[in-house]
Structure 1
């Protein structure tokens, strides 16, 4: 497999169209609905802000790619962020609404707010109605309510009225804030958001380097690592114990996007190599009945949760493609082909569409952590990152006609 071959690009295009077709039924009156294995909305689940944001982002990309029907899905998702999911009384965005009438989880999370910034940035690039006002509000909220200048990082969670900040601090929300801030910088032309993303990334890379390139995920209010947090709840979907393999891959890619945006940052490229190498060495479980990436490891690299999450493989594809672009090292081309072979054989659902979000170590669909197929965000990244330059951000690159011109 050659990353830039016409046949491979055609396959990526076909898969992109299949993903967008799968998720068409997600819009609901209150936001993007959780999808089951067949792509049907699951009415028993609440409408989540982060799922709605990811849907707006993905279908804004689809609209800019020229896929008919994508723009209405993106606009409906964006409208929900200005409507049912927005807290008109206290400001910011709820975690979720529903499934019943009047049911609201009013928790304000940095994770969800980072995705509002990403969604609004992509919507701006696509020219969706109300996008710029939403982006301005989202950036102001993320800055004023979550960013801690003394630490250079974002807090994790507030109550609905912004009166109590949870003492937990986490890297996951900050990772998605980096992606969102890079997108916002390219859309708005405001370099300060890129500089903030750089500061966050440099701190995370320093922590990773100090732990043999395994990234500490959990911290206390003073940003001291809590390496044993959730040791008794290792399968938590957002706060699992140990090192999260997929995040090592995702941070590697983000470091490369930053390096490309800033120029002449060999240190970021070197760090990306280390993160990727550690994640692959620890995470690729070649000896299992069906090889794949484990979810988490302990601090010596031993697997903790062996379930295979689709998003980890998607991020491996993106990281290998980005490293190949940044370094020209053919070893990454070999990895890129290997990860796509794994995805196509084990994770892509050729019967119903999209990707199985979780499989066991025999390659059988599972639902221990992620039931159904709630969104397309990671899979969409896997098909677009290999076709785009490392900078500018994805939505701006698509808007500016840089697809297949990396």
Structure 2
């Protein structure tokens, strides 16, 4: 056991993680919509009026509840089954193939075909397969074919981003976000199937962003690219999914995924561990608000703050990468940061009255609702409490066994 382990993964901390996981599931159980799909919930768990459901909401709930089932949480099967059924009956485009981005009740609200959404289908199918759902293999095979046919660019070793519903292109945009979550999904698919294709592709994406791009930009990660994968420094799109500049929360995710990939690799490398540390600690140094806590959402290319609002998900991802570093290459500063960020999460983001995490705070730490309505999903925050309990960085599907089971 590493010498720092007892200073961060104490019995009390493990109990806290498990208790918050159950509180999150208790809250998001109310997402179940009897007429199909899932509700988006307000702060108290009451369904919002809007019937718009986006693909990443469906898939993230499937994935999260599959993790819950694997960890021993009772009652997860209906959510997994319900989500997969809705994925097939509504999101899947039976005429053109692939999965549409958003529904409004039974009608298509946004028919675009996005790599970002499709890699989350791959993640959901992989997790559902690990949890033993009988329909998961078919979904995995279907989305694997779509990713191969439309999104994977073999010459670049990366995913392209977006099409119209009929698969006609409408932009030449290329981005890190879809590829980063592509790594997440590919590693999950590899862990559940053992297919080398998934590990190889994850490695190619990681090599480009973490080992090439970050290394050339002082360990920061530009988000936006042209169709030849040249950095596009002037791009500014959706303020949540495609903001200008760099997004430190994504640096935390990339760094954790690099550690996961390295652990799964047939030739693990100390260099990869150091690269992951460089990326994570650059984002910690750039984005942490010393005065108020939390992370500035986006940064300019020189590391100065741009969008200063604070969201829950970068906090969860910082927890994830620090836990991964503590299991891979523990250093005293990792424990300090891990505790510091959990203190921020407890005091500013975790809703101890109703369960779940508040998604957004302002510079003073007050709860706000400028970007989000309600609590958008369980995905980031449930991984923040489950992944630190794993014995390693990879193999969550086997490593979670019993972590939420009552003693």
Question: What's the TM-score, normalizing by structure 2?
Answer: 0.94
How far apart are 1:403 and its partner, in Å?
8.7
Q: How does 1:90-239 map to 2 (within 5 A)?
A: 90-99=96-105, 101-205=106-210, 206-230=212-236, 236-239=239-242
Counterpart of 1:269 in structure 2 is 273
Work out whether 1:375 is the aligned partner of 2:377: yes
Counterpart of 1:285 in structure 2 is 289
- Structure 2's unaligned 5+ residue stretches are 1-5
User: After TM superposition, where is structure 1 displaced by more than 4 Å over at least 4 residues in a row?
Assistant: 401-404
Distance 2:28 2:332 in 1: 35
Distance 2:394 2:352 in 1: 32
Render the CA deviation track for 1:63-91: whole Å, top value 9, x for unaligned. Answer: 12222221111111111111111111111
Q: SS state of the match for residue 292, structure 1?
A: coil
Distance 1:200 1:374 in 2: 28
Shift of the 30–146 alpha-carbon distance from structure 1 to 2, 3 Å rule, reads farther
Distance 1:403 1:227 in 2: 44
Shift of the 52–311 alpha-carbon distance from structure 1 to 2, 3 Å rule, reads same
Counterpart of 1:15 in structure 2 is 20
Shift of the 124–270 alpha-carbon distance from structure 1 to 2, 3 Å rule, reads same
Distance 1:396 1:158 in 2: 36
Distance 1:175 1:280 in 2: 19
Distance 1:71 1:102 in 2: 27
How far apart are 1:402 and its partner, in Å?
8.2
Work out whether 1:302 is the aligned partner of 2:299: no
Whether the 8 Å CA contact 1:19–1:380 is kept in 2: the answer is yes
Q: SS state of the match for residue 370, structure 1?
A: coil
Shift of the 36–402 alpha-carbon distance from structure 1 to 2, 3 Å rule, reads closer
Q: SS state of the match for residue 104, structure 1?
A: strand
What is the RMSD of the two structures over their aligned residues, measured on CA atoms?
1.7
Distance 1:389 1:256 in 2: 14
Q: Give the stretch that moved more between structures: 108-117 or 220-229.
A: 220-229
Counterpart of 1:81 in structure 2 is 87
Whether the 8 Å CA contact 1:296–1:303 is kept in 2: the answer is yes
Whether the 8 Å CA contact 1:358–1:371 is kept in 2: the answer is no
Render the CA deviation track for 1:153-185: whole Å, top value 9, x for unaligned. Answer: 101111101122521110000000100000001
Distance 2:337 2:404 in 1: 22
Whether the 8 Å CA contact 1:3–1:9 is kept in 2: the answer is no
Distance 2:395 2:93 in 1: 29
Distance 1:366 1:280 in 2: 23
Whether the 8 Å CA contact 2:249–2:317 is kept in 1: the answer is yes
Counterpart of 2:39 in structure 1 is 33
How far apart are 1:254 and its partner, in Å?
0.6
The number of aligned residues is: 397
How far apart are 1:102 and its partner, in Å?
2.3
Work out whether 1:67 is the aligned partner of 2:69: no
Q: SS state of the match for residue 85, structure 2?
A: helix
How far apart are 1:109 and its partner, in Å?
0.4
Q: SS state of the match for residue 391, structure 2?
A: coil
Q: Give the stretch that moved more between structures: 135-144 or 337-346.
A: 135-144
Q: SS state of the match for residue 371, structure 2?
A: coil
- Structure 1's unaligned 5+ residue stretches are none
